Amino acid sequence: MTATRGSPAYIIAARRTPVAPRGGALAHLQADELAAPVLEQLLEDAGLAPASVDHVILGNALYAGGNPARLAALRAGLPVEVPAMTIDTQCCSGLDAIALGVRMIEAGAAGCVLAGGTESFSRSPIRLHRPAERGAEPVPFDRPVFAPAPFTDPDLTEAAARLAGERKITAAAQADFAVASHAKAVRAKEQGSSSLVARSPGAREDDFTRRLTLKTALRAPVLAGSGGCELTAATIACEADAAAAVLLVSDEMRRRSALPGLKVIAAQGGGCDPAEPALAPIGVARSLIAALGKTAADFDTIELMEAYAVQAMVTIGELGFAADAVNRHGGALARGHPIGASGAILMAQLFEQLLRTSGNAGETGKRRGLALIAAAGGLGSGMAVEAAVS
């Protein structure tokens, strides 16, 4: 069905695959193969028929074209009439795909949207620049340009290392943050996660998560930086494979389903100087929170992307978030960073914490959540939700 008038958007189901490091348990799967079972599970969770879906929107960053969302939709058994699109805003892609689905419902252009992100570092194409001159050899590249001259287009790790040096955030402090992320993720793993879709034997949980000690973290290889503020393999999220998505519906469909959900109360993107990409979510969060007439303290559950420990630490400090409200189940430092899926994973984590594992949100007092993520080129995205249990 297609909505005929605008409505608030609600998330009534959220799922993700386990996150596996590049070359690990999910390495044999293409991005669309990762996403398809997630889409199927979402419809099963909500008791909706595939024909109920109006649109599929997935984020992806590494596939250099094509339309993985369409492939995933067809693999998931959706009718051929259901359109699908893939968007690329790098790390923000998964969250931006959800925001686009929200806007479609708010505008009355859809009543039911499957949205999220998918990424396979392991199976991503080898990229080459086509030569400008006949007979010349193609030139391989690892990443595209994210900002044109005269803007600075830094390597993201080097930019994070510079930030650590400028803010005097020591390697030891970063290591301590990473250890805490793993510890929270280990506790969550032991409790069991109802948001996971087991995709293959050997990948039934986030297998990078471990009991990381500070001693081990401090011994990790240095990858960038100097002067006591180095970034190491323990304080940078590893490249990974995963998919995650949510089921967005209009208020009318939510009421018919009789399911609790998360009402999307705000979604916003923004930008900053491309030379300082880690800072982009700070301005986005300030603007989003102010527009809602709230303060940072009004959000009791926060999912913040941990591409780099220093990035998360600076964001938490600048926005004044309570440390115990951020990434309660661990972050990307303890899971990995499947670029196009990472923003959608944040929303799956929020859904689980605000609805699945918290029971009645009115009883626990945990009602409002915020997801934040940064991307190359100086982009940031944020989304605020609140539990709707009636």
358 has pLDDT over 70: no
174 has pLDDT over 70: yes
Note if 337 is an active site residue.
yes
Q: What residue type is 137 in one-letter code?
A: E
Q: Which helix (H) or strand (E) holds 385?
A: strand 379-388
What is the percent of the chain with per-residue pLDDT over 70, rounded to a whole number? 94
**Range 161-172 burial, b when 16+ CB lie within 10 A, else e:** bbbbbeeebebe
Residue 366 to residues 42, 71, 132, 207, 346, Cα–Cα distance (Å): 23, 37, 57, 28, 16
Which of 55, 182, 329, 337 is the catalytic position?
337
Place of tokens 């915020």: 370
Is the CATH number of domain 156-193+211-238+265-388 3.40.50.720? Answer: no
Q: Which range is least confidently modeled, 41-45, 202-206, 245-249, 312-316?
A: 202-206
Cβ-based neighbours of 279, under 8 Å, separated by 6 or more: 163, 272, 273, 314, 315, 374
334 has pLDDT over 50: yes
Q: What residue type is 128 in one-letter code?
A: L
In this predicted structure, what is the pLDDT of residue 189?
Answer: 86
In this predicted structure, what is the pLDDT of residue 5?
Answer: 65
In this predicted structure, what is the pLDDT of residue 7?
Answer: 87
Q: What residue type is 22 in one-letter code?
A: R
In this predicted structure, what is the pLDDT of residue 328?
Answer: 95
- Mean of per-residue pLDDT scores for the chain: 92
Q: How far apart are CA 183 and CA 201, in angstroms?
A: 25
65 has pLDDT over 80: no
Residue 150 preceded by cis peptide, ω within 30: yes
361 has pLDDT over 70: no
pLDDT tens-digit map of 184-238: 999 998 887 777 886 666 678 898 999 999 999 999 999 999 999 999 999 999 9
Q: How many residues does the chain have?
A: 390
Which of 55, 91, 112, 229 is the catalytic position?
91
Q: Which range is least confidently modeled, 47-56, 187-196, 251-260?
A: 187-196
CA-closest candidate to residue 238, choices 119, 335, 304: 335
Instruction: Decide if 115 contacts 245 (C-beta within 8 A).
Output: yes
Q: Which helix (H) or strand (E) holds 118?
A: strand 112-120
In this predicted structure, what is the pLDDT of residue 56?
Answer: 98
Cβ-based neighbours of 376, under 8 Å, separated by 6 or more: 90, 91, 143, 146, 156, 274, 277
pLDDT tens-digit map of 114-145: 999 999 999 999 888 898 888 899 999 888 89
Here the tokens at position 116 are 């999220």
Architecture of domain 9-126+239-262: 3-Layer(aba) Sandwich (3.40)
In this predicted structure, what is the pLDDT of residue 252?
Answer: 93
Place of tokens 């899926």: 341
363 has pLDDT over 60: no
- Domain(s) of CATH 3.40.47.10: residues in the chain: 9-126+239-262, 156-193+211-238+265-388
166 has pLDDT over 60: yes
Q: Which helix (H) or strand (E) holds 174?
A: helix 171-191
User: Which residues on adjacent β-strands are paired with residue 204?
Assistant: none
Q: What mean pLDDT do residues 16-35 have?
A: 95
**Range 75-89 burial, b when 16+ CB lie within 10 A, else e:** bbebeeebebebbbb
CA angle 256, 113, 107 (to 5 degrees): 90
CA-closest candidate to residue 37, choices 72, 1, 7, 69: 72
Q: What mean pLDDT do residues 167-177 have?
A: 98
Name the DSSP class of 107. Answer: T
Q: How far apart are CA 337 and CA 138, in angstroms?
A: 29
Name the DSSP class of 354. Answer: I
User: Which residues on adjacent β-strands are paired with residue 84?
Assistant: 56
